[in-house]
Each structure stands twice: as structure tokens, then as C-alpha cells.
Amino acid sequence: MFSLLSMGNPWGKARGAFYGWWMVAVSGFIMVITAVPVFQAIAVWSVALEAQFGWSRTQLGLALSFTRIEGSITGPIAGYLVDRMGTRFMVFTGLLILTAGFFLFSQVQNLWMFYLAYFIMSVGQGQAGWITVMTLLNHWFVRHRGMAMGLAMMVMGVGALILVPLIAWLIDPEADRLGWRRTAEILAVVALVSAFVLPKVIRNKPEDVGGYPDGVPPVPAASEEGEGNDEIELTIGQALRTQAFWTISFGHGFGSMVVLATMSHLGLLLQDVGYGVQTAAWVITVQTAVSIVFQFIGGWLGDRIPKNIALFIFTGIQGAGVVFLTLGSSLYYFYIFAVLFGIGFGGRTPLTTAIRGEYFGRASFGKILGISTVPMNFLLLIAAPLAGFMRDELGDYDMAFLLLAGLNTLGAVLFLIARRPKLEHLIEAGAAN
């Protein structure tokens, strides 16, 4: 049916298809059961927890900050382990930890239990989720790296499109349904079953099954030196000496601050202006639906134009969307936010990872990705509580989101000035030292 595989068609054939595309689907599903309930759904969890316990916005925002402490510490460890132990091991152990976190979350009676549960959930998510599956896809793809990562994010987006409204419906504090505790218990069971099923279908890299990235044998370079667009392989030490490592790391961090703050406080912001948890879920649904489309478009575009330019465009659009949260209480503004934010967030999401693969290669990708998340996680550490603190002190979120939109713009500029490393320059620099 899809007979164009031999001509370089990325979709492959229905029969005997390149196994990497199965890894795309599996990666997307892993992110659905790890990232969506922990991060995308925090806006609706927060509404239910505030209704039951009366915690302040600052206290609720701190939950996601504690997850960033986890990310700063364990991100590099996860990167090292996935390079050394492989994706299968990381998915299995991460999902077991996530299971324990969800179960503890279902038993929360006070604030410290909430923080501990969310910390454990985040450790599990970090072990099995983004760093791990992006490393997997970076091994399986080179030519179609952006598209593969974009498609995996699309799968996660479709999952979020279904799962976030479902969680909101189940835990709505104004309705007598399942409630947030039983919902957390169900998610624990899903994570536990997945821990024993998913590793059975994962293959860490194409060479393990006698294959090649993209399913195509590598084309020899035109010369010994190779062309400027050839894939390079940097060690972690070489990557740390590049301008690109730091501009991408901080660009990703500043661009993600507003994402985390929005995820944490959007439901509460809507509640402030008179809307309930279901309205918050629908706004998130629109944002998610738009981001699904642009996760593919962003990945596709990033394989055709310089990824740093594409990241500048999409990150800028994301920041423009956030400004609409400050313009008034009309739902019209919230849905404009949802569309613009969905375009920007969706388009930039696969590219923030794909650009690291393009600039730094495959061999040490997990280590490089893990360490490059440390600056981002320290920036994210302050995002959600800062927004909550400013709202508690000023009475609304306007100044908080305007500040975060400005930092988002700084992130866009940092992406723009990122330059692809040249291996010969790094060798010369190392020799000079």
C-alpha cells in the first residue's frame, strides 16, 4: 500500500514497514500516560485540590516547581542512563515509579504529601518520558528526525485532547462523579500495566535489529572532510564548548517558563473571571487540538528550513498568545490564546529536541539532552510559584503573564542566534587547551 518506502517516503509500507515508525507510535503513547496526567492536566487537578483543601495559588504552583528540582537533578542522570542502559530499561523503571507516585497522590491528606506525590510522579515521568523517548527517536531517525519527533508529539497531543477533558469531567468538584482520588488510582493501574507491556515492543536503536536510521543505509560522504550538512557526533565535553549548547538550553528554558506557568494557573485564572473547570478543559482542548496539527507542521518544516529559524518563529507566536490572557475576561480572548499558543507550542515542541540531534549527533545524545535541560529546569523552578505569588500580591495574573511573555521573546532570540557547531573547530579548541 505504501510502496514508496524505497523512494524515501517516510511513511513506509504497511507490510514490512520500517520499525522506527512503530517506535514513533510507542513513544507518543508513553508520553500520553506520563506527561499528560502529570503536566497538561495540572490545571484541572489544581482546581479540585483548591476546592478540597483551600490551598493558595502560590502553594499549588510550588508543586510543579518541585518537579523541576527533580528535573535538574535527575535529568542528567536519566540522559546518562538512557545512553548506557537503553530505552527499554528506562521505560520499565520509570513507569513503576510513576505508579507509586499516582497511588500516593490518591492518598494525599495534606500539602507535604501532595508535594511528595508530585515529586515522585515527576521522577517517574522523567525516567520514562521525554528524554528517554526523544533519545530513542534520535537513534532511529536522521533525515526524518524532525518529522518523527513531531509525529510522536502529535500522538501525545491526541492523547491529551482526550485525557485532559476526561480527567476534568471525572474530578469536577461541583459534580458527583469519580473524584480526583479514584481517578489517580486508575492512572496508577494504567502505568503499572504499561510498565510490563511497552518494553516488550521497544528496540533501543536500529542497529540492534540489523537496520539503519530512517531504514536506509548511510550514503558515503562526498569527501573525507564531508559536506557541511553531514551528521556530526559530539561528545558531551565538545557540546559544552559550543555556543549552540547554551543558547539552545536557555532558549528552551525561557520559552518553557510560560508553558509551565500557563499549565499550572490557566484553570485558576479562568476561575478568577467566573468560569468553571469544564470551561478550562475546553480551552485546553482547543489549544491541544491546534498544537497537534502544528507538531506535525513544525517537525515537517524543521526538516526543510533551518531549525533555529523555525524555533524563533514558533516561540514568538507562543509568546504572542500569552499576551491575550491579560486583555480581559471574555472567553473570546482565551480562545485566541488557545489558538496562538497551540500554534507556537505545537510547532516548537519537536524542534527543541530535533535541533539538538542535528547539532550534536546520536552517540551522546541522551547525556547532552539531559545536561542541557538543567538550565531549563532551574528557570522552570520559579515559573509557576512566581505567577502564583504575583497573583496573590497583585490580585490578578496580568503582570505575571506579561513578564513571562517577555522572557519567552528572549528565548526566541536565543534560538535564532544558535549556530550549528563545526567539528574541526572543536578539535582545534580542544588541542589548544
What's the pLDDT at 228? 42
The predicted structure's pLDDT at residue 74: 63
Q: On the CB side of 362, how many CA atoms lie within 13 Å of its CA?
A: 17
Q: What letter would DSSP give residue 12?
A: -
C-alpha cell at position 368: 547532552
CA 390 centroid distance within chain: 26
- What residue type is assigned to position 91 of the chain? V
Return the higher-pLDDT residue of 372 and 4.
372
Minimum mean pLDDT range among 74-78, 83-87, 233-237, 285-289: 74-78
The DSSP code sequence of 200-223 is GT--S-GGGGT--GGGSPPPPPSS
Tell me how far apart the alpha carbons of residues 214 and 201 are, in angstroms, rounded to a whole number: 18
Report residue 12's pLDDT band, with 50, 70 and 90 as the boundaries. Answer: very low
How far is the C-alpha of 117 from the C-alpha of 175, rounded, in Å?
25
Domains and CATH numbers, the chain: 18-209+233-432 (1.20.1250.20)
pLDDT in tens, 71-86: 556 667 777 777 788 8
For 16, other C-beta atoms within 10 Å of its C-beta total 8
Taking alpha carbons only, the member of 302, 304, 262, 297 closest to residue 283 is: 262
| pLDDT tens digits, one per residue of 178-214 | 888 999 999 999 999 999 999 999 988 888 777 778 7
* Residue pair 233/361 in contact by the 8 Å Cβ criterion: yes
Task: Please tell me which of 31-35, 260-264, 383-387 the model is most confident about, judged by mean pLDDT.
Answer: 31-35
- Rounded CA-CA distance 326/400 in Å is 9
